[in-house]
Chain A
Amino acid sequence: MKNNILKKFLLIMGVMSLAVLFAGCGKKTSSSSVKHITYWHVNAQTQGGATVDDLVKKFNDTHKNIKVTAKYNPDMYKGLMQNLQSAQASGKVPDVTQVGWAYDNYFSSNFKYMMPTDAAKKFDGNTKFIDDNFSKRTLSFAKDSKGNLVGLPYSLSTPVLFINKDILSKYNIDESSLTTWEGVKAASKTIHDQSGKYGLYIQEPGDTWAQQAVMLSNGADIQKNGKAAFASSNGIAAYKYYQEMVNSKLALHTPWAQGMDSFIKGDVAMAFTTIAQASHIKKSAVFNASAIVAPHFESHKTVVPVGGSMLAITAQDSEQQKAAWEFEKWMYKAESAVTWSKGTGYLPPTKVALESASFKDYVKENPMLEPAVKTLDNAIPWTSFPKKGLQAEQSMIDARDKILSGSNVQSTLKAAQDKINVEQK
């Protein structure tokens, strides 16, 4: 009896081990002809995740030798970076990775990646693909502090001034007066005096992207030769303007979600925020909403830091790198890039896509995008300090919080600048 059971057991084990053996063989034969690569992105279902899945499916259907698996990483670029750290520790890195601009230097100095120019030279024999598709300005967004091209720009965004046209016309405010921050202040005063409503909200997420745009549009630099330089007279003047607006209740100072909610409900007349908010505003606002180019201070021009992300090749093996490069090139085709833009609300990164008929039609249907596209010509890379960049960003957030709570602008900005520069030596 006992023997019988043992025999049965051995038989089952034998069959199973054979099955495993065959399965292993099957994989081996298929892997020599089909390359499997993984693509890590940050797009949740509500932020274009479905579009990413569609694009990947389309790529897989048209490419018999490459199979891409897309993996969504929660909690945006920060969450993706955390996952990438553990992936690096376990030695199983993705092949194509979406990296936010703020992580530019942190990524390039801590992870292994293949420069897109190297990939182009190695697999295409020349850099024609990059030269044809990307303008010099767009490429500059993806360079680290040493001037290396870390990845290719993928999603682009710029801040714009969203306006509540109903409020503006009710108080006879001319839209053309809102091209300068001085004009925005005058308009806010009129609105506040007559209705008690707030004039302006400037986004306050876990970065100072929008505040940097205000300083840059007053002729200030955020960094100069790798050192923080925002505590200049122009930078201080820009923040003083902002602080005064908040103190006199012309501008609302509140976390991002609440500020946007107030704009959408018509309690704030203007919102200075990313173009990626356009579809949300279009869907939810109960008033006539529109967008205009980011304002500048008198006698200065509009300059904004670019937002969004790039795609970097993190594959280590040459074959994998080649497949990753194929995938990237396909993702940058005008058709894919415009699809991606429609799904996410970001602007497409390539010249070809921006000038394509389908994108132009899309902008016609969604005129809020127009000022954002225009602003791209005035966009500069998002400041990423060479050393301890993430802590530098935190110092700038701290300075913003302090100033809006009433601290002295000059000494606060100077202290933040000094703190960042101590690390840059």
Chain B
Amino acid sequence: MLNKNKKILPFLYLLPTAILLLVFMIVPILYTFYLSFFDWNLIAPTKEFVGLKNYVEVFTDPINQKVILNTLIYILFLIVLNFVIPYFISLIVKFFIKKMQGAYKVLFFIPSLFSLVVGAMLFTWILNPVSGPIAYLMKSLGMTMPNWSNSGILAITVICFITNWKVFGYNFILLLTGLGSIPANIIDAAKIDGIPKWKLIWNVILPMNRGIAIYVLILTIVQGLQYVFTPINVITTGGPYYGSSNIIYQTYLNAFVLYKTGTSSALAIVTFIVFLVLLFIEIRFVEGKAKNYA
């Protein structure tokens, strides 16, 4: 009797989460996959089966191609702004600055408490190329501010900076905590051996912090692409001519503005697969490392 209970109980404990996952994640994903083979406007009684047409469109339509390219640019910018720079600064704070570590943590973390909509509106005002404070300042110095919302690459840059403002502190703290968990005796040993600091960081610290670093890297990409959605929606609505759109905004635009659920679902499934691959990498490195310790 007791034995039987032991077998069932774990599943019973899992049940609430499993049901939630099933209802809110797995079923919608399966339904999205199903919808990606149809042409449907969200409400019409009939769905027209179109086979793989939506998937072909994802890769052949010039607008989608532009959007995929933008997505790659976004990823590159996000990695630099939200991963490389916070990592660099956390290394400096950890190994080169002795005082005020707590103050830096708090200061960097504050913006992540604000809503992105607020941030986006604030930055639209500050960075208004004609009438914003920065534009006025530049004018008084005899310069003109470029009209960034009319250039895809500049708009992407500004949008990435807005998300940077939001996630920098969070990523910084994660990385700093990771660095803090590296056993002190290893670092002390290296110091006694007289190994230069940069060599210590390159050969010892970075490899030992790899798990957290990969986790933050994946988070930067997956969460970053979702975070940029808000400023895109508030400021540029993907413009100029899809110049600042990314694959997630395009999925939204197709589904809820144009009611093209087929195209939208195909885009969503492609994104899903890309994220799945990233997740696989994360599991390989992060969880794999945990196994090594055990």
Contacts and interface: CB of A to CB of B under 8 A. Distances in A.
The reply to whether chain A is a binding partner of chain B is yes
Nearest to A405: B240
A34 B124 CA distance: 49
Given A110-B43, A257-B124, 5 more contacts: A106-B41, A258-B129, A262-B131, A267-B131, A390-B258
B240 A258 contact: no
B152 to A, nearest CB: 9
Nearest to A402: B241
Interface stretch (A143-151, A152-160, A248-256, A368-376): A248-256
Given A258-B124, A261-B125, A88 B258 contact: no
A262 B149 contact: no
Interface stretch (B102-110, B192-200, B206-214, B231-239): B231-239
Given A78-B257, A390-B259, A258 B149 contact: yes
A82 B44 CA distance: 13
B216 to A, nearest CB: 32
Interface string B77-119: 0000000000000000000000000000000000000000000
A261 B124 CA distance: 10
B256 interface: yes
A111 interface: yes
B237 to A, nearest CB: 6
Given A88-B43, A258-B149, A82 B129 contact: no
Contact of B130 (A111, A258, A398): A258
B43 A391 contact: no
A272 interface: no
B260 A391 contact: yes
Task: Identify the 3 closest CB pairs spanning chains A and B, nearest first.
Answer: A401-B241, A262-B131, A265-B131
A275 B147 CA distance: 27
B135 to A, nearest CB: 9
Interface in B20-60: 41-44
Interface residues of B, number: 26
Given A85-B43, A111-B43, A390-B257, A261 B240 contact: no
Contacts of A390: 257-259
Nearest to B147: A254
B256 A82 contact: yes
A24 interface: no
A330 B43 CA distance: 31
B43 A398 contact: no
Contacts of A106: 41, 259
B177 interface: no
A206 interface: yes
Nearest to B253: A394
A401 B259 contact: no
A406 to B, nearest CB: 10
B226 interface: no
Given A390-B258, A391-B260, A255 B149 contact: yes
B157 interface: no
Contacts of B147: 253-254
A261 B241 contact: no
Contact of A394 (B121, B124, B235, B258): B258
A268 interface: yes
Interface centre among A88, A89, A111, A262 (most CB of B within 10 A): A262
Contacts of A257: 121, 124, 235
B240 A404 contact: yes
Interface in A194-214: 198, 206
B130 A255 contact: no
13 contacts: A78-B257, A88-B43, A106-B259, A252-B130, A254-B149, A258-B124, A258-B130, A265-B131, A390-B258, A401-B239, A401-B240, A405-B240, A405-B241
Contacts of A78: 256-257
B260 to A, nearest CB: 7
B223 interface: no
Contacts of B150: 253-254, 404-405
B237 A110 contact: no
B271 interface: no
Interface string B232-266: 00011101111000000000000011111000000
B12 to A, nearest CB: 24
B237 A206 contact: yes
